[in-house]
Amino acid sequence: MRQLIDLPTPSSDKARTDKAPAHDSAKGHVSGTARYTDDVYRHAAMLHLAVGVSTKAHAQITKIDLDAVRSAPGVIDVFTSQDIPGHNEVGAVFPGDPLLVEGRVSYAGQPIFAVVADTLRHARQATSLAQIEYKSESPLLDPAVAIEENSVVLPKHVQRREAGQNIIDEAHREAPLPALESAQHRVSGRLDVGGQEHFYLEGQIAIAEPWEDDGLRVVTSTQHPSEVQKLVAEVIGIPLHRIVAEVRRMGGGFGGKESQAAPVGVLAALACWRTGRSVKFRMPREIDMRVTGKRHPFRSSYDVGFNDEGVIEAAKIELIGNCGYSPDLSEGVVDRAMFHADNAYYIGDALVIGHRAKTNTVSHTAFRGFGGPQGMLPIETVMDDIARTLGLDPLDVRKRNLYRTGKDETHYGQKVEQHLIGPMMETLEERSEYRSRRQKIAEFNKQSPIIKRGLALTPVQFGISFTATHLNQAGAIVRVYTDGSVLANHGGTEMGQGLHTKVCQVVARELGLSLENVRISATRTDKVPNTSPTAASSGADLNAMAARKAALEIKQRLFQFAQDEYALEPASMHLEENAFHATTLTGDAFTLSWPELVQQAYLHRIPLFSEGFYATPKIGYDKKTARGRPFYYYAYGAAVTEVEIDTLTGENRVRRVDILHDVGESLNPAIDRGQVEGGYIQGLGWLTTEELVWNDDGQLMTAGPSTYKIPAYSDAPIDFRVNLLEGHPNSEATIYHSKAVGEPPFMLAISAWAALRDAISSLSDYALNPVLNTPATPERILFACNKIRERQEDKVSA
């Protein structure tokens, strides 16, 4: 039986505004008055830093002469690894990332020395005067070859389920799956998935200044201020309490400022420590792209067995993450790719293997989805391949393999408890007119020899929580001043995603205030310590919950005071519309304005500030048994994308997109809708236009907007229809039963890539499966079209 979900009718502008206030910095963004790190200080006494980087990808430094650099105009200081007073290490989790390299360089663009000068121009010009000689070696760039040669940054991980049981016997874990060997049908293949440059509008930047006698203040554009604080302290060799890291807002992050921003802050801090003066380090875009990591490219292979109905019985999926030269965050990235190798499907007996290849490129890092998108692509390839092998509609194959009651445990042992994706796909299928459009597209393709159209509906099931369990914690402070105004501070960072707005909404809601009475201050490590990065889509889940706990503590104190002072009925007390309302023990109505209540509480020495702390419950994963519950819950989404391609040039466009996305009980529908739309477009760029190219010498050839193409306004779908799922709150006790929305929408764009494959396959009347690695650039689409034509001709001639 079809299960449909009622979609909301469009609400009035007033209703939308009341429930979804604007981003707290919206006016500043559009007027240019929002202050970013580069706007903080612009005084003449500030010094500027630049780095000299390796020109080789794999080489031994045989000679380094920096005399000309030191004598260059305006140069104040030059330092190398030899001048570091503490640890020359800025690795995020594992060692292997020197702040300044010495001896052997591991990628082209690796920092070797730093220059501090009176102007930015002088600092950058001086770096070109260094005389460095190398003994070059051939760089290792192919991740598959790296695995063959056992060049890895970390050991592989294996997950295996057989006959419904997770197998923990090491000797048996990678043995062939009997159910795969005996399957009625099998499809297998290989997929190369490209990386992605973060291309945040605000590049990497940090400012360091002397602070409080013997400390340092680092104003930085980072998703993880506590890591900046920690690494500055370790590199300089002083305690953490002498360092303050501060972030007001970032001009985008997308994961690229989770670990990769730390070395920028550390270099600025070290230069400040050495010179005793304020130092700014702002990377030019080209250096930023060469020095900092990207989304991990992956090479994946799959071998899947299925029955006549297209239902998967067994699957072997092998994932090779190209990690670059060091571990960085690659353990978690590859783990999450493995967790999402099933996407929203029960894949029967399963063998999932994750490798972490070490190559001579920059160390790849977090990016929106954190390995999940790369992990999902192989199984979505499989769904289309099964459909074309059996002559079925790909949507029917997807629906037959979805998690459902009785088949609701993942290959890593977590039970899928909220079965929303099936009804969501049914609803989207009907609302998007999928079946009739599928028929019309088939008819169009028969009549059109050159221009072909494709259609695909794909789901997303994305786990929410840091896979590193200890990071699932957050703190917040709420302060109420005697005039009734409220200041909140928490450990999360604002990068345009609206986290500060949502936290203010939560505090205002708990205290019964209008939003303008609540303000957020900059994230600082001397206010909330030991913070987790703002990542893993958990910013609001963690920090808003911590802020709510702090606000509830204040509210409880105020209620207790009012009850005792004014003889009130406890159950009648509530805060609403900037006032306190209750009923006295004699039955009379009692009201105080919020400022009056606060003033009276202050006069009676009631504390008007509180701290809140939240740790995500229920989660944990044992890597030894490859089993557990790494995620608190799943967020769901589904998208239908229609594309059009020119089979003679590979040019393509997206004609229409229909999205239904699950955000639980939305904290702010306007912000959440923006995340869905932006996530889809960014995912579309990853899968179609954003191509990273290294030459055979390991040099990045796409180091600027002239060669690296992010989506533009003109790349947006001609017809873009987005709905948020309503009436289905999160079944877990998250903040007001909402769900995370940062990363899951990114993977909705997989439907566009599947639609491109569908259009190419139409050249064979949907009988052949095209190989289409990502990004699906016009060149790759053209080559895939030509290959399908060749295979079709061979088939006919045979």
Catalytic residues: 743
Distance CA 724, CA 728 (A): 10
Select from 622, 481, 676 the least CA-distant residue to 157: 622
| DSSP notation for 382-433 | HHHHHHHHHT--HHHHHHHTB-BTTB-B-TTS-B-----HHHHHHHHHHHTT
Q: Burial of 633 by CB count in 10 Å (0-12 exposed, 13-18 middle, 19+ buried)? A: buried
Radius of gyration of the chain measured on its C-alpha atoms: 28
Number of H helices, E strands in the chain: 22, 30
The residue type of 599 is Q
What burial letters (b/e) apply to 784-795, b meaning 16+ CB within 10 Å? bbebbeebeeee
Residue 123 region by backbone torsions, left for phi larger than 0, else alpha for psi between -120 and 50, else beta: alpha
Distance CA 304, CA 386 (A): 9
Q: Burial of 268 by CB count in 10 Å (0-12 exposed, 13-18 middle, 19+ buried)? A: buried
Beta bridge partners of 133: 63
Count of other CB atoms within 10 angstroms of residue 49: 28
Select from 103, 112, 94, 115 the least CA-distant residue to 48: 115
Adjacency order of strands within the sheet including 185-193 = 165-166, 152-162, 349-357, 312-322, 298-306, 185-193
How many CA within 13 A on the CB side of residue 508? 20
End-to-end CA distance of the chain: 43
Q: Cβ distance 735 to 667 under 8 Å?
A: yes
Distance CA 337, CA 298 (A): 10
Select from 757, 753, 773, 750 the least CA-distant residue to 679: 750
Q: Cβ distance 328 to 361 under 8 Å?
A: no
Q: Cβ distance 570 to 583 under 8 Å?
A: no
Distances (CA, A) of 350 to 91, 158, 345, 355, 682: 33, 10, 12, 16, 31
